Amino acid sequence: MRRGLRYLAVLLALSAGAQAYYHFVHFVSRQGPFTPIPEKFDLSALLNKTVFFTISETGPAALAAGDSKEAVVSQLRLAAKAWNDVPTSELRLAFGGFTQPGAFQSSPLVEIVFDEVPPGLVALGGITSRGTMTSGPGGAFVPIQRSTVILRRDLTDRPSWSEALFLTMVHEMGHALGLQHTLTSSVMSTEITRAMTKAAPLGPDDAAGLSLLYPKPDYLSSTGSIAGRVGIAGEPVNMASVVALSPEGSAISTLTNPDGTFLLQGLPPGSYYLYAHPLPPQLSVESFPANITPPSDLEGRPIPATLSFETLFYPGVKDPAAATIFPVGKGTAIDGVNFDVRRRAAPAIYAVQTYSYPGNAAVKPAHLNTYGGRNYFIAAGYGLITGPGVTPGLQMSVIGGSAVIAPGSIRPYPSDTRYITADFNLAPFPGEGAKHLLFFADNDMYVLPGGFRIVNRTPPAITSITPETDSSGAPVLRIAGTGLTADTRILFDGAVATVRGFQPATGLVVSPPAALPGHKAVVVALNKDGQSSLFLQANQPPSVQLDSTDAPVFTVTPNQLTAGTEAMVEVQGVGTAFQEGQVALALGSADVSVRRLWVTSPNRIVANVVVAANALPSASMVTVVNGLRSTGLPDGLSVVPGARPTVRGAVIEAGSGRTDVVPGSVAAARLSGLSSAGALTVTLNGLPVQSPALNDNLLTFTVPSGTPTGPAPLKVRVNGEELPAIAVSVDLPPPTVAAIYSGGTRIDLNRPARPGEVITVAVGGAGELGPEASPSRFRVCVNDQPLTVLQAGLLGDGSYGVQVQLDPALPVGTYMLTVAVDSRVSPVQSLPVK
Amino acid sequence: MPRPLTPAILVLAGALSAGPGRAATLERLSMDEMIQQSTEIVRGRVMTLGVSTKGSVLYTLARVEVLERWKGPSGRTVEIWIPGGRSGNLRQTFSGAPTLAVGGEYVLFLWAGSSGNRQVIGFSQGAFDVKLDAKGSPQMQRAASSEAMLDERGQQVEDVPVRMSLAELRKRLKSALGLAGGAE
């Protein structure tokens, strides 16, 4: 044990100040130092910083009527995508295939199993195996070796398309990644404050929690922090929740350490109130308050939360109008924000949730529409109702001024007096998004972050789904309805359809995902404002039977790889109908992973595959997921032991470091495992390359002019020894922004763009995209924020015109505009706005 | 004033919201549902706590001395599987799992599937502390769970606290199960 303590002391000396958030945390001892040691995946041990999630091949034993295992798998992949899409986190999640529960894997992973759980339990998840405490760039941590999510085997009562099962999947995956519960309406919150929807499953606190565990290099410098302490008459409060509340609607939180200190990191630039509140009371037979596992000491003994206290805004007030507003900028570090709170037996109010009724089904949280409709909400929670009526003295207000609650209007909800309702008056131009609620009773206050949302349009609804064909004869579906926009995402079960076009009068045209014969998919529309067609169509969502060919078959070449090598594999099939953006290749083991994948035709995939050096000899199922169709090849890929030289890492363009090389440029590849240097032979796409050279295991060569774009096999032979072939991504040069126009007028300093204006970006070097290029091929960003592409088409000079509308609220300034064509991104172009 | 919604409509609440709230996501079971869906109902005292594994998951095994039995095959003890536990240096916690203490007395609604492993129905919903009331009469009690609670359609509902004397429970069990007495 002493040895362990010394080791820990060294680790802590190496560690930077770590955050607490709501992670699974350890401390060296009960006496301190209280530098949090979180449990998290060790990104340095993961290829591409990617954690694989595997799904038990047995799958659910029973499903809801019309449901399918493919639909469940698609929803699990969509849930993983929610975490995958956090831009400030380096962690990535990828589908690793179907495995047997508990199968041995030497690499860290998340396993999803379907198991026998008793009635009344839907799912559970958590960390099931940890490594030895270690140190990383962010400080000491306990590496997660394995996390497990258990879903009930019988999903008869849980349709896979439902918000309920989807948010359960997202939540349990959050636990698997190292997140505990929060009380900020995020998906990781308890049901007390959770207010997420399928269209917007993660809140700012979820993104911050994940990003603090797995930060992008510039995350902490691009956000700010607030530090301080919470105490009762000088005594520290452990596990007080401290929340930074933006009047604009976000909330980011942390927990205090046993010495009462807190460090609230990951605050995007903006203004924040700060408040401290206790965890809700621990309930009978529950393990901990709010079921948040408290930090533990080295012996694993929990350091419990301090008893309840009064909730206060800083500096010790209950009126947000009297509270300090903290301006936070990039890299801002505010310290000394100390709360002196008063003990209280229990909070007067907690567990509040709000609902509204845009249709006949309730929506949580309440959504209020600025354009009218049934604009009221009801709320339920502990402390709102006492006996037959509203708790005496109960007050309620909205933080931030977006709405006002009419004085004296709080009353029991007529149809069910367990609920309260109140009259709201929206302020002019209240702004969209989450808004915070404040409750008062019995000299205590309760803040409900994101207690309701303001929206500017009605929820989407799908009225018809019509099969059509596009100009090339390919099948498409026209999705017509109300409330649909160019930004609307269409789900077929859990597969996001590729949008081919949008007209306000006729709706969206989408490419349907591939599916097994006879598959009937539930179709759901998701809007950017967090609303979905399930708001109005929860009970009978529309569905469509997807056209499909017979069950596809495929082969994998080569089907045997050596441990510790990287190699190109080719998946060639019949009837596969692979679609770009819809395909995932899962190799049935966390020890064998895909570095990069290309869909080269409807029947062919090329992938660079990495085999862990410590992978055990085995044969595993190869699964190709294409849209809603999962096709398996038992024992499709074998790992064999051995020592073989290999290309290590992606082949890059030597000058730019890009992982796409341009014909005529010099490419570089790192080799490893060479026994000796010697005669060098290099071919790319079957042709000898010019001027190959090998120095210090770095291979350089010139990419032959005329090499077609796409993955080109690189074959290297050194001293007679052949390395496994690897695919090199050959691509066109990046596109360029030739000019920006508004109407026929060129945008420049003399004629800046205007907020809300529709502009046309002329893009050169886009490639051959046809006269009416799909808007989905382009991505226009202003200061890294993507804009909706309204339309795109070929201009007279061979460039493409891409039309977007600027944000009407865009402040005056000069912005960085970029255009991406597929994965190629243009250099930055200046965009003046006035 | 908006159109008041009927309770039937309220039942639809949470089709959009019935997500997770805890490490576990629960669906609410009424007392009658627990009585009907459980395979055993016992009052018992925890004798020992052990541990076992299933796949990658640790389970705490609680051996319970049966003091009274209202449903299920006879037996003087039952062994209950609860997710999470500790084995050597390996520790697993599934927040929301019921916590049973050695020596503690509980009323337990248990369920066993095809594996035969008994589990508490509805996680903490099926575990009730047995305490004496002010008059010295035993009663079972459980506070409302703060877990995410879903109804049978997967829609979110609130849990309610339960407090019931054992005499009342016996009467209710007798009515629901048609028992003639049958305490063990």
SS (H, E, C) B96-145: CCCCCCCCCEEEEEEEECCCCCEEECCHHHHEEEEEECCCCCEEEEECCC
Please name the residue of chain B whose CA is at the shortest distance from the CA of residue A166.
B19
Higher pLDDT among residues A472 and A464, named by residue = A464
Alpha-carbon distances of A433 from A359, A446, A533, rounded to whole Å:
20, 20, 18
Task: Please tell me the distance from the alpha carbon of residue B20 to that of residue A161, in angstroms, as a whole number.
Answer: 15
The C-alpha angle with vertex A617 and arms to A615 and A619, in degrees rounded to 5, equals 105
**What's the fold here for domain A461-545?**
Immunoglobulin-like (2.60.40)
Q: Is B75 near chain A, with CB under 8 Å? A: no
* Total count of residues recorded for chain B: 184
Residues 77-136 of B with CB under 8 A from A: 83-84, 86, 90-100, 111, 113-115, 117, 119-129
For A571-602, the pLDDT digits (tens) are 999 988 898 888 999 987 778 889 999 999 99
Q: Are the Cβ atoms of B2 and A364 closer than 8 angstroms? A: no
Task: Please tell me the distance from the alpha carbon of residue A588 to that of residue B119, in angstroms, as a whole number.
Answer: 31
For A9-32, the pLDDT digits (tens) are 444 333 334 455 689 899 988 887
Out of A157, A170, A413, the one facing B152 most closely (by C-beta) is A157
For residue A193, the model assigns a pLDDT of: 64
For residue A438, the model assigns a pLDDT of: 96
Q: Which CATH number fits domain A39-133+145-201: 3.40.390.10, 3.40.50.2300, 3.40.50.1110, 3.40.220.10?
A: 3.40.390.10
In chain A, the percentage of residues whose pLDDT exceeds 90 is 59
Q: Is A126 near chain B, with CB under 8 Å? A: yes
For residue A77, the model assigns a pLDDT of: 95
Q: Is the model's pLDDT at A425 over the cut of 80?
A: yes
For residue A357, the model assigns a pLDDT of: 86
For A539-558, the pLDDT digits (tens) are 889 999 987 666 789 999 99
Q: Is the model's pLDDT at A419 over the cut of 90?
A: no
Out of A119, A128, A535, the one facing B16 most closely (by C-beta) is A535
Q: Is A202 near chain B, with CB under 8 Å? A: no
Please name the residue of chain B whose CA is at the shortest distance from the CA of residue A158.
B154
For residue B15, the model assigns a pLDDT of: 28
Reported as a pLDDT band with limits 50, 70 and 90, residue A394 is very high
Domain ranges for chain A: 39-133+145-201, 219-340, 350-455, 461-545, 553-640, 646-730, 736-833
For residue B22, the model assigns a pLDDT of: 33
- Work out how many CB contacts closer than 8 A connect A with B: 258
**What's the fold here for domain A219-340?**
Immunoglobulin-like (2.60.40)
**From the CA of A340, how many Å to the nearest CA of chain B?**
28
Residue-wise DSSP of chain B: -PPPPPHHHHTTTTTTT----SSEEEE---HHHHHHH-SEEEEEEEEEEEEEEETTEEEEEEEEEEEEEEESS--SEEEEEEEBEEETTEEE--TT-----TT-EEEEEEEE-TT--EEETTGGGGEEEEEE-TTS-EEEEEPPP-SEEE-TTS-B-----EEEEHHHHHHHHHHHHT------
Task: Please tell me the distance from the alpha carbon of residue A633 to that of residue A551, in angstroms, as a whole number.
Answer: 12
For A651-669, the pLDDT digits (tens) are 999 988 889 999 999 999 9
Q: Is A461 near chain B, with CB under 8 Å? A: no
For residue A158, the model assigns a pLDDT of: 86
Please name the residue of chain A whose CA is at the shortest distance from the CA of residue B117.
A116
Q: Is the model's pLDDT at A6 over the cut of 70?
A: no
For A126-185, the pLDDT digits (tens) are 899 888 889 988 889 999 999 999 999 999 888 999 988 899 899 999 999 999 988 998
Q: Are the Cβ atoms of A171 and B58 closer than 8 angstroms? A: no
Ordered domains of chain B (ranges, CATH): 18-177 (2.40.50)
Mutate to test the interface with B, among A113, A142, A190, A286 (most CBs of B within 10 A): A286
Domain A350-455 class, CATH top level: mainly beta
With b for 16 or more beta-carbon neighbours within 10 A and e for fewer, the B44-69 pattern comes to bebeebebeebbbbbbbbbebebbbb
Mean pLDDT of the A44-53 span: 89
pLDDT, chain A, mean: 89
- Peptide bond preceding A159: is omega within 30 degrees of 0, i.e. cis? no
For A437-464, the pLDDT digits (tens) are 999 999 999 999 999 999 989 999 999 9
Tell me the two tokens of residue A593.
Answer: 């992973």
Q: Is A525 near chain B, with CB under 8 Å? A: no
Strand partners, A582: none
Q: Which CATH number fits domain A646-730: 1.20.120, 1.10.287, 3.30.70, 2.60.40?
A: 2.60.40
Q: Give chain B positions within 8 Å (CB) of A22.
A: none
For A226-257, the pLDDT digits (tens) are 999 999 999 999 999 999 999 888 999 999 99
Q: Give chain B positions within 8 Å (CB) of A162.
A: 15, 18, 154
Q: Are the Cβ atoms of B122 and A374 closer than 8 angstroms? A: no
The DSSP H or E segment spanning A827 is none
The C-alpha angle with vertex B150 and arms to B144 and B155, in degrees rounded to 5, equals 135
In chain A, the percentage of residues whose pLDDT exceeds 70 is 95
ipTM: 0.78
| A274 close to A341: Cβ distance less than 8 angstroms | no
| A153 close to A62: Cβ distance less than 8 angstroms | yes
Strand partners, A433: A454
Please name the residue of chain A whose CA is at the shortest distance from the CA of residue B26.
A121
Mean pLDDT of the A763-767 span: 90
Mutate to test the interface with A, among B25, B115, B125, B142 (most CBs of A within 10 A): B25
Q: Are the Cβ atoms of B37 and A119 closer than 8 angstroms? A: yes
Amino acid at A598: W
Per-residue pLDDT of chain B (184 residues; tens, 9 = 90+): 333 333 222 322 232 222 222 356 666 677 888 899 999 999 999 999 999 988 888 999 999 999 999 999 988 999 999 998 888 777 887 877 888 999 999 999 999 988 899 999 988 788 888 988 888 888 887 755 544 444 444 444 545 556 788 888 888 888 888 754 433 3
Q: Give chain B positions within 8 Å (CB) of A197.
A: 16-17
Q: Are the Cβ atoms of A287 and B95 closer than 8 angstroms? A: yes
Q: Which CATH architecture has domain A553-640?
A: Sandwich (2.60)
**From the CA of B108, how many Å to the nearest CA of chain A?**
12
Q: Give chain B positions within 8 Å (CB) of A187.
A: 19-20
Q: Are the Cβ atoms of A168 and B25 closer than 8 angstroms? A: yes
For residue B143, the model assigns a pLDDT of: 59
Mutate to test the interface with A, among B146, B147, B155, B163 (most CBs of A within 10 A): B146
- DSSP reduced 3-state for A337: strand
For residue A157, the model assigns a pLDDT of: 84
Alpha-carbon distances of A478 from A295, A469, A520, A543, A790, rounded to whole Å:
53, 10, 16, 13, 17
Residues 792-821 of A with CB under 8 A from B: none
For residue A549, the model assigns a pLDDT of: 64
Task: Please tell me the distance from the alpha carbon of residue A302 to that of residue B37, in angstroms, as a whole number.
Answer: 35
For residue B30, the model assigns a pLDDT of: 79
Domain A736-833 class, CATH top level: mainly beta
Q: Are the Cβ atoms of B20 and A123 closer than 8 angstroms? A: yes
For B73-103, the pLDDT digits (tens) are 988 999 999 998 888 777 887 877 888 999 9
Please return the burial class of A251, using the count of CB atoms within 10 Å of its CB with bins 0-12, 13-18 and 19+: buried
Q: Is the model's pLDDT at A284 over the cut of 80?
A: no
Q: Same CATH topology for A39-133+145-201 and A736-833?
A: no
For A311-368, the pLDDT digits (tens) are 999 999 999 999 999 999 999 999 999 999 999 988 999 888 898 888 888 888 899 8
CA-wise closest residue to A130 among A142, A112, A139, A148: A142
For A80-138, the pLDDT digits (tens) are 999 999 999 999 999 988 877 666 667 899 999 999 989 888 888 889 988 888 998 88
